[in-house]
Chains A and B, each alone.
Chain A
Amino acid sequence: MMEHIRTPKVENVRLIDRTVSRKATVGTLYLSATHTIFVENNPETRKETWVLHSLVASVERPPTTPSGSHLVIRTKNFQVLELLVPQERDATDIHASLARLSRPEKYSELYCLSINPTANKEEREESWSFLDLQADYRRMGVPNNLWVGTPANSEYRVCDTYPSELFVPKSATPPVIVGSSKFRSRGRFPVLTYFHQDTLASICRCSQPLSGFSARSQEDEQMMQAIMKANPGSEYIYVVDTRPKLNAMANRAAGKGYENEDHYTNIKLQFIGIENIHVMRNSQQKIIDIKTPSMGDFLWGLESSGWLKHIKAVLDAGVFIAKAVAEEGVSVVVHCSDGWDRTAQACSLASVLLDPYYRTMKGLMLLIERDWVSFGHKFSHRYNHLDGDPKEVSPVIDQFVECVWQLSEQFPCAFEFNERFLIQLRRHVYSCQYGNFLGNSQKERRDMRLRERTYSLWPQLWKDRAQYVNPLYRADHTQTQGMLRPNTTPYCFKMWKGMYNRLEKSAPPRHSPADLLTAVREETQQLEQELTNHQEVAPRGTAHSGTKQGIQTPKSKMKRPGRPAPSTGDGSVDSPPHDYRSTQRGPPDPAMTLPLGPPKGSDPDDLSSACSDIESGVIDLSSRSSSGGDDCKDPESDEAIYCPAWSGTRGPDTGRLPC
């Protein structure tokens, strides 16, 4: 990658704070093989801003101005970084370098493969054995006398986008499997994804049948029959086609389509109406583009983006499946077209609703590993890992993650993890810092030998779990047990501010009650520890003034700057009030954007904390102690660079009110 870097270092670059009166900080810009790094000149702070190349969505170059050339970097995390480069030639170089660096053409250029991973073989191998999918199948009671493992797809002979280890009904013979596979788009025949031990009903997934207007397959019909028989308690199965019915019908003209209820005995066909990847891509773009200070325009934009409508459709699919399985005890076969996008969304959401285990951190990891990674969701295509067909790109897993978030808003005590965990998860789907999401199928990942060449994300997230814990989570709480029955009335869906408006600097993300409770808890544990220590030293304590003091003032201790949730007003010290002055129809609000990147070492997203052991090429910078002061301990510092954003309309000397 180094050969693409035309200019590794440019001095006197201005990082323009888009939230403020275009105030800028002067510093030096570095281009490394993996990051764009901006280091402030100010010797007091030396704040560093790091942007991973693989997270860069676009680099724009507005026309050159007398003061220099602008570069606007937009990231896949919905952040914006604006730079002013004095020399036009430098700007051209950076632009060209970044344009190339942010669009890798080969997997080997990606972060997780471009660094030298052989350093610690054992650790790497261990990271890949952190999750055990087979153990999770065993946890749900599979294999059993109804469902068995089949060797049919070993070496990916039957279906190259499926995992090699699959579970099918006991009565499904190899000829039935192969025959069914031939009658399904891309050979994705019906296989088990979730088994519900209480009702013995199951969730199976596949792709659309190649039925056209009249074709049928005896084996496929036998396969469906076998799935129904594998649930002794029911006389029929649901076939959930997650597409709008019109789309499904249109597919018949291409020799595909959906199951003819006359040919399959005892199936009930149900269409859900989740739109296709192109609709979703456009919808997300619209929601990103909503930038208005006016409430009316905002709600109108939200409506016309259609995003929440789509989120609801995905959740509705999950709810339908979960209810069929848990309440009716009826097995469900889910498919869309190819069975790797909408099907993955619907199946995994149903699992989250059905099984409390998938509402824990490890459970959610396993679920993604199963329903998304192992079943061939095309991560590299959907999330644009390599420079490829833009029509393949779509925020499919974003929608799943958002549905989980919407659920967690409705059931605050039901999930072990917090919003940060979900945001972090989504980030890594795009970042390619770990090998988990490379490629488009298990086979591709095997062929790339990713387990030998990269690290797995999961143990890293697990290691950092302290910052991802939802303090309200109660394993024994009524909300937490059994099936979640969410309300899906439209008013239950709201815009995910933490995801899409990470840029806006208001107090809430830092001052969430959850963060405070986590802090309280830590504090308590710490004090208990101190107490224990004191008791050990002096069992018949005289006055342990130190300990006592600590206990009497746990709250005051929490005010230490840098805590996740310091006292509420904290943000207002360095953040002047919001812009109450501009009238609503003013210019697009600058506060919707934030200069990227936290001080080095402070960002959980950041490389140094995420995988410092395998870092390379940027050592010289990362080794310097972080200088952002207390901010560095703030896991939310991503959002928390409090610049004087709200004084946007007036500088210190123009501080007069408009009249």
Chain B
Amino acid sequence: MEFSEHIKTANVEDVVLRRPFYQPTKGTLCVTGHHLIFSNRGGDSARPFLLLLRNIDAIEKRPSVSSGTITLKCKDLCVLQLDIPGMEECLNIASSIESLSSLETVSEMYPFFYRPPFLSLQDQWGLSSTEQHYAQMKEIHDGWRVSQVNRDYSVSPSYPPAVIVPHSIDDETLVKAARFRQGGRFPVLCYYHRETGTVIMRSSQPLSGANRKRCREDELLLQAVIDGSELGYIIDTRSSQQAQQARMTGGGFESKSCYRGWKRLHRQLEKGKVLQESLIKLVEACGDQSHSVDRWLSKLENSKWLSHVQTALSTAGLVAECVERDGHSVLVHGSEGTDTSLLVSSLAQLILDPDSRTLAGFLGLLEREWVQAGHPFQQRCAHSAYSHVRLRHEAPVFVLLLDCVWQLARQFPLAMGFSEPLLLRLAKEVYASDYGTFLCNSDQERCVTGVKERTHCLFQSLLRANERQHYSNPLYERTELAIWPSIQPPSLQLWKGLFLQWTDDALHLVEAQKVIQNLVSQCHRPLNEKVENTDG
């Protein structure tokens, strides 16, 4: 298909662009297959302004007789305005943007065309595979093995080809256990805690249904996990009522009598529509220009976003506490096992595991627990907070994760190897990206559409030397200890860096970050120089 079909007017002169932090500028607007390009006339050396069409969440046009105004509300929460001379041009541009920004075919998306000079398609796509990850963890080789049972994605379409399972469980048992779990997502290992030898696993809900069906193999699998110890915990991310109701539609939960030694705890985490609406309300509240504090606080409360942050961190804290303080293994699941389960398991790992708090470690965690584990990015992040499109599968689960990680990093400013700009970059990339990392809904889809061969990997790119510098935390000081977040309401704050990033307020904080960076480097540099001089 040709993009040009959608482009009714490719170029308009004398367009005025208004965007945060900049004076309105006049220039030429150009629509291409994937971008809006705005360039300043008059030999201005400034680089043209480039906007990925995929980033546009909502478009509002106000045509008048001789000109028109288009307001673009982006998925990164930025709001831009274009004043376009000529009503027809205005309408043409608007309709081009509308159709191009909502193209759904994965292989037509920009990552398939993005070819930066500093990356090669020959590079490995992704940071690590399950096998490589397993190979690094020598301590689990006795009790755990890599299973290729899903190599052709037939056991679980949303799982990666290889997963880590208890050594004593053979593939045949896995296949049967998978039939008893929604989407075939049988329990797999995501974290092994060296000190206690206990693990965090995740899965989807068991399909016990209204008749309380059982599955011997599924029970065996879980039995093998806590073999030798007396207790394990199942953290169900639904309320017990929701879990009961799920039986009516074929889902369910692990009953006490069938899974001996496993105790079930319910912690209700919102997802789906509720979460998406929460984000929409929060963004709306942040854009409210009213000067009433009461109104702001009431809207903030009403959005419930911070409550979701609190619940997620508190549930992750609970999982981490079971593992590290009580020395019991944990299985996390909700219903599909592709949203809240991933949220909780990855936050728990950040709390417990210093390796996951380095820049590379964190990206590795995201790759394992979100990309490979089959979080349906394409469905969840199709639209953000401004879109008028009716909600289907959208839900900002990943943004909620990033917010929780930001809260952790704020409470432990030295413990994380990465900085806030990384979280902000990820929050932007997950909705619209030059890279293929967040395309598709599963590993299988990524293979089918050739994402791994024909796009570049964001994580690889973020680990290049100069990027790494930018996204590292200058205050980082590795700690081997668990970092237990405070979940008291006053300890949890609105993430201004994300939700208010287009206000002046955020600018001051960015400046402060720079000062910190300079301070740290200044404190160390002169000294090192002096030492060198002394030595010489």
* Interface residues, chain A, with chain B CB atoms under 8 Å away: 292-296, 298-300, 302-303, 306, 308-309, 312, 410-413, 471-472, 474, 477-479, 487-495, 497, 500-501, 504-508, 511-513, 516-517, 520-521, 523-524, 527-528, 531, 534-535, 541, 543-544, 547-548, 551, 554-555, 558-559, 565, 567-570, 572-573, 575-578, 580-581, 584, 589, 591-592, 646, 655, 657-659
- Which B-chain residue is minimally distant from A532 (CB atoms)? B530
- Which A-chain residue is minimally distant from B494 (CB atoms)? A491
Give the shortest distance, in Å, between A520 (CB) and chain B (any CB).
5
Could you say which of B292, B322, B492, B511 has the most chain A C-beta atoms within 10 Å of its C-beta? Answer: B511
Q: Which of A413, A577, A658 contacts B484 (CB 8 A)?
A: A577
In the bound complex, residues from chain B placing their C-beta under 8 Å from that of A584 are 310-311
A489 and B291 form a contact (CB under 8 A):
yes
Q: Which of B436-489 contact A (CB under 8 A)?
A: 475, 477, 479-489
Give the distance in Å from the alpha carbon of A493 to the alpha carbon of B294 in the complex: 11
Which 6 pairs show the lowest CB-CB distances between chains A and B? A569-B481, A506-B486, A490-B296, A298-B489, A569-B479, A412-B512
Give the shortest distance, in Å, between A526 (CB) and chain B (any CB).
10
Query: Secondary structure at chain B's binding surface: helix, strand, loop or mixed?
Result: helix
A535 and B534 form a contact (CB under 8 A):
yes
In the bound complex, residues from chain B placing their C-beta under 8 Å from that of A513 are 413-414, 475, 516
- Which A-chain residue is minimally distant from B506 (CB atoms)? A487
Give the distance in Å from the alpha carbon of A378 to the alpha carbon of B234 in the complex: 60
Give the shortest distance, in Å, between A311 (CB) and chain B (any CB).
8
Give the distance in Å from the alpha carbon of A306 to the alpha carbon of B475 in the complex: 37
Give the shortest distance, in Å, between A272 (CB) and chain B (any CB).
13
B488 and A504 form a contact (CB under 8 A):
yes
B504 and A646 form a contact (CB under 8 A):
no
A501 and B484 form a contact (CB under 8 A):
no
Give the distance in Å from the alpha carbon of A517 to the alpha carbon of B515 in the complex: 11
In the bound complex, residues from chain A placing their C-beta under 8 Å from that of B29 are none
Q: What are 28 contact pairs spanning A and B, CB under 8 A?
A: A292-B489, A295-B307, A295-B310, A295-B492, A303-B294, A303-B298, A306-B294, A309-B294, A413-B512, A477-B511, A479-B508, A494-B493, A500-B490, A508-B486, A511-B414, A516-B475, A517-B475, A517-B520, A544-B534, A547-B531, A565-B414, A567-B414, A568-B415, A569-B412, A569-B479, A569-B483, A572-B484, A578-B486
In the bound complex, residues from chain A placing their C-beta under 8 Å from that of B121 are none
In the bound complex, residues from chain B placing their C-beta under 8 Å from that of A505 are 486
In the bound complex, residues from chain A placing their C-beta under 8 Å from that of B135 are none
B482 and A569 form a contact (CB under 8 A):
yes
Query: With A292-B489, A472-B515 given, can you name 6 additional A-B contacts, CB distance below 8 Å?
Result: A298-B489, A300-B301, A517-B516, A527-B527, A577-B317, A584-B311
Give the distance in Å from the alpha carbon of A64 to the alpha carbon of B174 in the complex: 62
In the bound complex, residues from chain B placing their C-beta under 8 Å from that of A507 are 411-412, 483-484, 486
Could you say which of B265, B289, B494, B527 has the most chain A C-beta atoms within 10 Å of its C-beta? Answer: B527
Q: Which of B306, B326, B477 contacts A657 (CB 8 A)?
A: B326
- Which A-chain residue is minimally distant from B481 (CB atoms)? A569
Q: Which of A296, A567, A576 contacts B307 (CB 8 A)?
A: A296
A511 and B413 form a contact (CB under 8 A):
yes
A541 and B534 form a contact (CB under 8 A):
yes
Give the shortest distance, in Å, between A114 (CB) and chain B (any CB).
37
In the bound complex, residues from chain B placing their C-beta under 8 Å from that of A309 are 292-294
Q: Mark B306-338, 1 if CB is under 8 A from A, else 0.
A: 110111001101101110011000000000000
A504 and B486 form a contact (CB under 8 A):
yes
In the bound complex, residues from chain A placing their C-beta under 8 Å from that of B293 are 303, 308-309, 312, 490, 493
Give the distance in Å from the alpha carbon of A323 to the alpha carbon of B414 in the complex: 39
B524 and A554 form a contact (CB under 8 A):
yes
B264 and A298 form a contact (CB under 8 A):
no
Give the shortest distance, in Å, between A420 (CB) and chain B (any CB).
17
In the bound complex, residues from chain A placing their C-beta under 8 Å from that of B301 are 295-296, 299-300, 303
B519 proximal to A (CB < 8 A): yes
A308 and B297 form a contact (CB under 8 A):
yes
In the bound complex, residues from chain A placing their C-beta under 8 Å from that of B531 are 531, 547-548, 551
In the bound complex, residues from chain B placing their C-beta under 8 Å from that of A535 are 534
- Which A-chain residue is minimally distant from B519 (CB atoms)? A517
Give the distance in Å from the alpha carbon of A303 to the alpha carbon of B298 in the complex: 7
Take A487-B505, A572-B483, A646-B484 as given contacts and tell me if A567 and B490 are in contact as well, using a CB distance cutoff of 8 Å: no
A298 and B490 form a contact (CB under 8 A):
yes
Give the shortest distance, in Å, between A303 (CB) and chain B (any CB).
4
Q: Which of B286, B492, B527 contacts A524 (CB 8 A)?
A: B527
Q: Which of A299, A578, A659 contacts B264 (CB 8 A)?
A: A659
Give the shortest distance, in Å, between A328 (CB) and chain B (any CB).
21
Q: Which of A491, A517, A659 contacts B263 (CB 8 A)?
A: A659
Give the distance in Å from the alpha carbon of A488 to the alpha carbon of B505 in the complex: 10
In the bound complex, residues from chain A placing their C-beta under 8 Å from that of B489 are 292-295, 298-299
Q: Which of A299, A500, A543 contacts B306 (CB 8 A)?
A: A299
Q: Which of A293, A487, A511, A558 contacts B412 (CB 8 A)?
A: A511
B519 and A520 form a contact (CB under 8 A):
yes
B317 and A580 form a contact (CB under 8 A):
yes
A520 and B505 form a contact (CB under 8 A):
no
A580 and B516 form a contact (CB under 8 A):
no
In the bound complex, residues from chain B placing their C-beta under 8 Å from that of A293 are 487-489
A589 and B527 form a contact (CB under 8 A):
no
Q: Which of B300, B490, B511, B535 contacts A504 (CB 8 A)?
A: B490
Give the shortest distance, in Å, between B485 (CB) and chain A (any CB).
7
In the bound complex, residues from chain A placing their C-beta under 8 Å from that of B520 are 517, 520
Give the distance in Å from the alpha carbon of A299 to the alpha carbon of B311 in the complex: 15
In the bound complex, residues from chain B placing their C-beta under 8 Å from that of A528 are 527, 530
- Which B-chain residue is minimally distant from A496 (CB atoms)? B490
B290 proximal to A (CB < 8 A): yes
Give the distance in Å from the alpha carbon of A554 to the alpha carbon of B480 in the complex: 18
B242 proximal to A (CB < 8 A): no
B79 proximal to A (CB < 8 A): no
Could you say which of B289, B307, B318, B531 has the most chain A C-beta atoms within 10 Å of its C-beta? Answer: B531
B511 and A413 form a contact (CB under 8 A):
yes
In the bound complex, residues from chain B placing their C-beta under 8 Å from that of A492 are 505
Take A578-B486, A580-B487 as given contacts and tell me if A489 and B289 are in contact as well, using a CB distance cutoff of 8 Å: yes
B528 proximal to A (CB < 8 A): yes
B509 proximal to A (CB < 8 A): yes
Take A306-B294, A488-B291 as given contacts and tell me if A411 and B534 are in contact as well, using a CB distance cutoff of 8 Å: no
Take A491-B296, A508-B486, A580-B321 as given contacts and tell me if A477 and B508 are in contact as well, using a CB distance cutoff of 8 Å: no
B255 proximal to A (CB < 8 A): no
In the bound complex, residues from chain B placing their C-beta under 8 Å from that of A506 are 411, 485-486, 488, 491
Take A413-B511, A567-B477 as given contacts and tell me if A578 and B317 are in contact as well, using a CB distance cutoff of 8 Å: yes
B503 proximal to A (CB < 8 A): yes
B488 and A592 form a contact (CB under 8 A):
yes
Q: Mark B22-34, 1 if CB is under 8 A from A, else 0.
A: 0000000000000
Give the shortest distance, in Å, between A199 (CB) and chain B (any CB).
24
In the bound complex, residues from chain A placing their C-beta under 8 Å from that of B260 are none
Give the distance in Å from the alpha carbon of A222 to the alpha carbon of B511 in the complex: 48
- Which A-chain residue is minimally distant from B503 (CB atoms)? A487
In the bound complex, residues from chain B placing their C-beta under 8 Å from that of A573 are 481
- Which A-chain residue is minimally distant from B493 (CB atoms)? A494
Give the distance in Å from the alpha carbon of A506 to the alpha carbon of B407 in the complex: 12
B149 proximal to A (CB < 8 A): no
Give the shortest distance, in Å, between B523 (CB) and chain A (any CB).
5
In the bound complex, residues from chain B placing their C-beta under 8 Å from that of A569 are 412, 415, 479-483
In the bound complex, residues from chain A placing their C-beta under 8 Å from that of B263 are 657, 659
B295 proximal to A (CB < 8 A): yes
Take A479-B511, A567-B414 as given contacts and tell me if A495 and B490 are in contact as well, using a CB distance cutoff of 8 Å: yes
B304 and A296 form a contact (CB under 8 A):
yes
Give the distance in Å from the alpha carbon of A491 to the alpha carbon of B498 in the complex: 13
Give the shortest distance, in Å, between A192 (CB) and chain B (any CB).
31
A543 and B535 form a contact (CB under 8 A):
yes
Give the shortest distance, in Å, between B395 (CB) and chain A (any CB).
20
Give the shortest distance, in Å, between B491 (CB) and chain A (any CB).
5
B534 and A471 form a contact (CB under 8 A):
no
Give the shortest distance, in Å, between B186 (CB) and chain A (any CB).
24
B391 proximal to A (CB < 8 A): no
Give the distance in Å from the alpha carbon of A657 to the alpha carbon of B231 in the complex: 11
